[in-house]
Amino acid sequence: MSGTYYKLIQCHWHTLSEHMFNGTNIVYAEVKGQLLRSNECHGFCPRGWIDNMSVLFAASYFMYKEKSETERVNRVIFSPLYTNAVIIDCNKRKINRRVWRVDDYRHYLPPDLCSIQEILRADLQEVYYIGFSSPQLSSQKTNRYHVMQNVENLFWLLMNDKNQMKPTFELVIDDLPHQPNLHNCGILVLKYIQMWDGLKRFDGKNMPSYSCEELQHLRQHYICEWLLDPENLHRETVLQRFQPYLRN
């Protein structure tokens, strides 16, 4: 049945995106406590912009599915709000910056998926900066440096031995493939997060290049997968709302 609905939603995507994802704020997906609302779904429409809340939902979903299948989380994905918090704090004068404690980091991890202590079991001590970086932009260099320092501080706190030196991490700048247009940046980030395994399988990159048509298909695929997931608490309600548009 899910396969049938998947095909119907794909066929009627433009109608659904026009009538169901626009101008409202209805919860369409709730999986493991993470919510995806209609206004966030609207960002997956053609030429839409993927916002931080969509990235938060997707990252939590990927981690939850990985843990369900393997009984562990191999990739700990912090909320996108974490980077924002670090950058905003580091833009302040040093005397006004916060002193980060372990509890501060817990706010940026999905609850019940992994604990802060699990991060200590990481196989690699690397900080990955993904995006469309420009080596000439000093602000990007500064932001990368501050985030890496903050991650090192977290590991130092978890080691619980202040006599030890803070651990050092390698900063890996991992550019995404060339994007056809700016509004597809978010969907490429989601795909990178989902498929990253540290191996450069595609001409020296961790993911292949995609055409505009392929990226639009990814947008539709993610929405269909999340809304039709049997664990989505709002699945039946969503399908009832879709019915009038799927009949036409």
- Structure confidence at residue 131 (pLDDT): 57
| Res 212: pLDDT | 86
C-alpha to C-alpha distances, 73 to 63, 154, 187, nearest whole angstrom: 6, 18, 22
* SS3 state of residue 12: coil
Output the pTM of the full model: 0.83
**pLDDT for res 223:** 92
Which pLDDT belongs to residue 132?
Answer: 53
43-67 tens-digit pLDDT: 898 888 898 889 989 999 998 998 8
Whether the predicted pLDDT of 203 surpasses 80: no
Compute the distance between CA of residue 37 and CA of residue 121 in angstroms, rounded to an integer.
34
Does 209 have pLDDT greater than 80? yes
Which tokens hold the place of 38? 């209609």
pLDDT at position 57: 93
Please give the Cα distance from 195 to 148 (Å, whole number): 23
pLDDT given for residue 124 in this prediction: 61
Residue 2 — very low, low, confident or very high, per pLDDT cuts 50/70/90? low
171-199: average pLDDT = 78
Name the percent of the chain in helix, strand, coil, to the closest 5: 55, 10, 35
Ramachandran assignment for 81, one of left (phi > 0), alpha (psi -120 to 50 degrees), beta (any other) = alpha
pLDDT above 90 coverage of the chain, percent: 17
Residue 1: what pLDDT?
Answer: 47
Alpha-carbon span 53 to 65, nearest angstrom? 18
Interacting residues of 76 by C-beta distance below 8 A, sequence separation 6+: 63, 109, 114, 118, 119, 122
pLDDT in tens, 131-161: 555 555 566 778 888 888 898 888 888 887 6
Q: What is the pLDDT of residue 80?
A: 81
Question: Are 66 and 73 in contact, with CB atoms under 8 Å apart?
Answer: yes
Answer with the residue of higher pLDDT: 238 or 163: 238
Average pLDDT over residues 28-33: 91
- Give the per-residue pLDDT at 229: 94
Tokens representing 30 are 């709730």
Q: Is the predicted pLDDT of residue 23 greater than 70, yes or no? A: no
What mean pLDDT, rounded, does the chain reach? 81
Could you tell me the domains of the chain? 2-247 (3.40.395.10)
Residue 74 pLDDT grade (very low, low, confident, very high; cuts 50, 70, 90): confident
For the stretch 157-173, pLDDT in tens is 888 766 777 777 777 77
